[in-house]
Amino acid sequence: MQTVLVTGIEPFDGETLNPSWESARTVDGRVIGGARVVARQLPCVIAEVRQALLHAIKEVDPVVVLCLGQAGGRADVSVERVAINVVDARIPDNAGRQPVDEPVIDGGPVAYFSALPIKALVSRLRASGIPASVSQSAGTYNCNAIFYSLLHYIATERPALRGGFIHVPYLPQMAAAHPGAPSMDVGTLIAAIEVMVATTLEVSTDLKEVGGATH
């Protein structure tokens, strides 16, 4: 049976939960679209996260990699379009380090586009009643480092692998400590993962429809 790797990230910035991991760990072992899902937690340590991701990929040997991360303040499932080769950390990571204007990978290209059918994912999520959009920026912190590292690995070592990054909102119990911040419950996030896994396994050519932004 084929496998799909779904990753989440450990809590950071003083939080005790991370919605990406709370949802990813719940689908560990499920069979979706004929593939077995394996979940792995990644650290919020920029200097270590690339090797942790590559170790998980080599251990699991997946056909699809969906990396999830927390985006407090966002209101929907944000399917990321592009990863950039820069780390500019607004806050220290969980090792207390705060790299500024450093490359994710020395000598790597400026950017990579996602290796997921991003617009098909958004379309299927919305059709399932789950708020979703294409995002044009994964930031410049740990999540972008994961995203860029994954796409660099695909481009240089395993071009048949499909993968990308998805940002998700706070959980409701987290948003309660951030008045005014939107949230999404873990059941909806789990349903979103199921839709995205099944869609990626099924869709080989992405939709061509509007998913851009004016700013």
Which of 22, 44, 67, 143 is an active site residue?
A: 143
Instruction: Please determine, for residue 214, whether its predicted confidence score (pLDDT) is greater than 80.
Output: no
The residue whose two tokens read 């990626």 is 200
Which of 167, 178, 194, 215 is an active site residue?
A: 167
Residue 1 to residue 39: CA distance in whole angstroms: 16
Going from N- to C-terminal start, the domains of the chain cover: 3-202
Looking at residues 83-108, what average pLDDT do you find? 98
Looking at residues 24-32, what average pLDDT do you find? 98
pTM of the model: 0.97
Q: Is 15 a catalytic residue?
A: no
pLDDT tens by residue, 116-166 = 999 999 999 999 999 999 999 999 999 999 999 999 999 999 999 999 999
pLDDT tens by residue, 63-91 = 999 999 999 999 999 999 999 999 999 99
Q: Is 55 a catalytic residue?
A: no
125: left (phi over 0), alpha (psi -120 to 50) or beta: alpha
Helices (H), 105-185: 118-127, 142-156, 172-175
Which of 80, 152, 178, 202 is an active site residue?
A: 80
Q: Architecture of domain 3-202 in CATH? A: 3-Layer(aba) Sandwich (3.40)
